[in-house]
Chain A
Amino acid sequence: MKKFFSNYLRDKDIQQLIGKQLRIGVITSSIIVLIGGVIYLIRHGHEQPSYGNFTGVREGLTNLRGIWQGVLENKGMNIIQLGVVLLIATPIIRIAFSVIAFLLEKDYLYVVLTLVVLGVIMFSMSGGLAG
């Protein structure tokens, strides 16, 4: 009974933790996007938008190193993109949390299934698919 109770508590804790992690991820990235957005609008607000023809965004915005480089130079676009990357990372981090959660529950079948999901995402991240 005591063991059941502690297991139950732990399970609940993990659900709370996942919920909290998702919320913190969304809030943090929105704040970063907002800060970057203000800098971007102050510097480029008077220019004209050009999204009519697809050229792809400029070089420094498509990989982590380039984005970080621009953040160090206080570029608004790069700070926004940092927030966007953090937002994309939020559900991925949630999966990593779930691996730990299922490990603690000793549910090894779901540890494997969760790792498969993580593997698929890592595979698509690897860059070979970027075309």
Chain B
Amino acid sequence: MQVTYRLPDCENHILLTFVNISDSLVTCNSGSTDLNQPNHLMTILSFTLILLCGAFTAGLLGSLTGLGGGVVIIPLLTLVFHVDIRYAIGTALVASIATSSGSASAYVKEGITNIRLGMFLEIATTTGAVVGALIAVYMPTNVVAIIFGLVLIFSSLMSFRKKMEVPAGEQKSKLAAQLRLNSSYPTADGVVNYEVHHVPGGYFMMTFAGIMSGLLGIGSGALKVLAMDNIMRIPFKVSTTTSNFMIGVTAAASAVVYLQRGYIAPGLCMPVVLGVLAGAFAGSKLLTRANVKWLRIVFSVVIGGLALQMIYNGITGKL
């Protein structure tokens, strides 16, 4: 009872904050001293509760739109709560492990996930993630913010892309056969067989996705899906679930580095992990009833706005 009573209020708060962000974006003027003030008035208790609501909303929207909750955690923490981007990265990594493992458990059971393909490509993403986490030490935080903004814009644009039909009769990949990557998945019309193409190209793109994941603390699901859909020509449903299956391992590879570096703050992880998980769970229950199309547009526009704000703050050196 308590939770349902409290939530609408908080969502309004978050929405208002988003409006504030776009306001300051339009005027291109967000005085940092002015923005920093709420922090000094807030206690840890209220900070935690508001963050919990924010993370719940992020998890809910992320799961409903398929964009993942992790993408908005970093802008939420840095732009709204004025958390240092390094703490934000550590927190977002942990949140993406939680959501990925939570939903992967369902997909693996349904047999849609291509476990061999996921395992093979995890070599690429984990090596990339370790490299990314290493680069992160030497990279100035404002450059990280700018790269993050660009990846964020790319991710939101990706969600508008049409799902392609896989063209038949393409050149067969010998490597895919040797690695036993070709597989099948259950649909309403029975089992569908598919073949994997362009293995080296996909592997290369996955390494890049891994680097981004390690550097920015995100699952970089959009990049993974791009590698599997556009390059390896895998059916959409298989690529999204397999990408989701891989996100946890990729994030874990860089999370162990970040944990030792002190980027992972329990006071932030607690509300974010619990909020995002609860939101994602609620989203999966709502999914069949909600009209997702306009929601996805709204969420993508919000993400685009946040991304521009991150880039702007990165260029002006505020992050």
Contacts and interface: CB of A to CB of B under 8 A. Distances in A.
Interface of A: 15-16, 18-20, 22-23, 25-26, 29-30, 33-34, 36-37, 40-41, 44-49, 51-57, 61-63, 76-78, 80-81, 84-85, 87-92, 94-95, 98, 107, 109-110, 113-114, 116-117, 120-121, 123-125, 127, 129-131
B48 interface: yes
Contacts of B87: 51, 54
A84 to B, nearest CB: 5
Main secondary structure of the interface of B (DSSP, over half): helix
B254 to A, nearest CB: 7
Nearest to A92: B252
B262 A48 contact: no
B137 interface: yes
Given A44-B44, A48-B40, A124 B254 contact: yes
Nearest to A23: B105
A37 B52 CA distance: 12
Contacts of A87: 94, 97-98, 101, 273
A55 B42 CA distance: 20
12 contacts: A34-B270, A37-B270, A37-B271, A54-B86, A55-B262, A61-B264, A78-B266, A88-B94, A94-B249, A117-B123, A121-B249, A124-B130
A85 B134 CA distance: 20
Interface of B: 36, 39-40, 42-45, 47-48, 77, 81-84, 86-87, 94, 97-98, 100-102, 104-106, 108-109, 111, 115-116, 119-120, 122-123, 126-127, 129-130, 133-134, 137, 179-180, 248-249, 251-257, 259-271, 273-274, 277
A110 B118 CA distance: 11
Nearest to B263: A56
Contact of A90 (B40, B101, B133, B261): B101
B44 A51 contact: no
A37 B248 contact: no
Nearest to A80: B266
A120 B253 contact: yes
A33 B98 CA distance: 12
Of A22, A81, A94, A109, most B-chain CB atoms within 10 Å: A22
Contact of B256 (A15, A45, A46, A124): A124
Nearest to B141: A54
Given A49-B267, A51-B81, A80-B266, A117 B119 contact: yes
